Amino acid sequence: MPDLRSRLRLCHPTGVALGAAGLLAALVWLGGVAMPVPVATGGDSTVQLRMIVVLAGAILVAVPMRSPMADWEAGAGPRARRVELTLLAVLASAGAVLVGVGEALVRSPESAASLLRAQLIWLSLAVVSARLLGGWSRAWVLPLATIFPLTYLGWDAAGEVRWWNWLWQPHTAAGCWALAAVSLTGAVLALWATPWRTRRLRGRPRRGRGAPRAVPARPGNRTKEPAAR
């Protein structure tokens, strides 16, 4: 617990708390505000502010994970990794509770389920983004990159919502839940693939390749060389 509290202080908890309070207020009082955006097939789609709030909330969970000792923590041992994962789980759980409870009370449980699905996908992408791009400070890149395809390319020529458009598909859409599961799996793999693990995997010789491992001779069992003639 002392390690977790020390790590939590590096996340600027006051700023995170203020940001979470602001996002919750926007979700409750301004979540229904609609903004028309153009789509590729013609016409407009309606983006509600609560969708953007959930995206910002997912980024708010991931970005505070950055630390001044990021280079050291990247290769740290199991204890430091447990602290990092525990902190991420605490922040993610707090974000899910705020979004789920706030949306369910103000609108409906169905709407809350859709937003929680979107939050899960975006948070998973944030974790993958942090691992691929070199740190938690870049966790926002992949989630933010999804806005264009979701809003501009998310409808087909018939005006139907594409199966992968998790913002506009209903909460019962199996395809979007499959995307959420795939995203979560990617995040778990990204968290598992620490630098020291990947180095160890790359350093393993492949079976059947390379020089055979030398077997040390047992003491007292050395073979005598033949005498010179």
Residue 229 has pLDDT above 70, yes or no: no
The residue type at 169 = Q
Which string of DSSP letters, residue by residue, matches 107-142?
Answer: T-HHHHHHHHHHHHHHHHHHHHHHHHHTSGGGTTHH
pLDDT exceeding 90 applies to what percent of the chain? Answer: 38
The predicted pLDDT at position 219 comes to: 46
The upper half-sphere exposure of residue 92, i.e. CA atoms within 13 Å in the direction of its Cβ, equals 21
pLDDT tens-digit profile of 115-146? Answer: 999 999 999 999 999 889 888 888 999 999 99
Across 52-56, 127-131, 163-167, 216-220, least confident range: 216-220
Average pLDDT along the chain = 80
| Sequence-ordered list of residues with C-beta below 8 angstroms from that of 146, at least 6 positions apart, any chain | 122, 125
Across 6-20, 63-77, 155-169, least confident range: 63-77
What is the model's pTM? Answer: 0.79
Residue 204 has pLDDT above 90, yes or no: no
The larger pLDDT score, comparing residue 222 to residue 187, is at 187
The rounded distance, in Å, linking the Cα atoms of 77 and 169 is 42
Residue 86 has pLDDT above 60, yes or no: yes
The pLDDT-based confidence of 69 (bands split at 50, 70, 90) is low
pLDDT tens-digit profile of 97-110? Answer: 999 999 999 999 99
Whether the Cβ atoms of residue 103 and residue 112 lie closer than 8 Å to each other: yes
What per-residue string of b and e applies to 5-24 under the rule 16 or more CB within 10 Å gives b?
A: eebbebbeeeebeebbeebb
Whether the Cβ atoms of residue 117 and residue 166 lie closer than 8 Å to each other: yes
The predicted pLDDT at position 137 comes to: 83
The larger pLDDT score, comparing residue 195 to residue 124, is at 124
Residue 163 has pLDDT above 90, yes or no: yes
The rounded distance, in Å, linking the Cα atoms of 53 and 22 is 10
The pLDDT-based confidence of 217 (bands split at 50, 70, 90) is very low
pLDDT tens-digit profile of 49-68? Answer: 899 999 998 888 887 776 55
The rounded distance, in Å, linking the Cα atoms of 43 and 65 is 40
Secondary structure of residue 227 in the 3-state scheme: coil
